[in-house]
Amino acid sequence: MPNQATLAATFFLSFLRMSTQANVKSHTRAFMGMKLQPAQGIPAGLFAGIGMMGVWLIGAQIWGPGAEPLLASIGAIITPGGSHPLQMVAGVILHLLIASILGLLFAVSLDRLDTKDTLIVSTFYGFTIWVVSVLILRHWVHMDAIQMSRSWWGLFSFLAFGFLLGVYASRFGLKPAH
């Protein structure tokens, strides 16, 4: 029986195959400029990171081991021998730092799209981050954090991160030039 990682990878590859075959002509339009300026990427990432943390912690509290162990497992990446409260603070700081970097990457790569397309692209960005973190980076990250990310509420929190990036970009970004 295939595990969650295999199913996610299969879904991702089939989605990529379908989207590249169906939308070849849609990429012939000229680049319309960036929707967000690079300086807007950090606050976008912080906004989405705080929202993601809320979704993730609620999921951990209701269906997982609890919010405190989740934050401590993330903080254990940079403070492996630290106390539990120190690891929780380090977990929040590390999460927001990574969210800021991912928001910056999103800002510099997002074309000026309408709201619907921005939300679709940004939610797929969140899914892509989930796939990369769970399948590729899992060897370098604390195993407890990866196990919690492999849950359905972990996936939902990554999708929320991408969606919230799109909400920020739609609200504060430049509108498409039609």
pLDDT (tens digit per residue) in 62-73 = 887 777 777 777
Rounded CA gap, 171 and 33, in Å? Answer: 17
The gap between the terminal CA atoms of the chain, to the nearest Å, is: 49
Domain ranges of the chain: 58-178
Q: Kindly report the pTM of this predicted structure.
A: 0.75
Beta bridge partners of 125: none
Q: Measured between alpha carbons, how far is residue 59 from residues 9, 17, 90, 148, 154 in Å? A: 23, 32, 20, 10, 8
Rounded CA gap, 29 and 95, in Å? Answer: 36
- Predicted pLDDT of residue 24: 45
* Angle in degrees, CA 67, 70, 74, rounded to 5: 140
Is the Cβ–Cβ distance between 131 and 8 less than 8 Å?
yes
For 73-123, the pLDDT digits (tens) are 777 777 877 777 888 888 889 889 999 999 999 998 887 788 888 899 999
The tokens describing 101, both together, are 């970097």
For 37-59, the pLDDT digits (tens) are 888 999 999 999 999 999 988 98
Which of 21-25, 62-66, 88-92, 134-138 has the weakest average pLDDT? 21-25
More confident residue, 7 or 110: 110
164 — pLDDT class (breaks 50, 70, 90): very high
Q: In angstroms, what is the C-alpha Rg of the chain?
A: 17
More confident residue, 27 or 99: 99
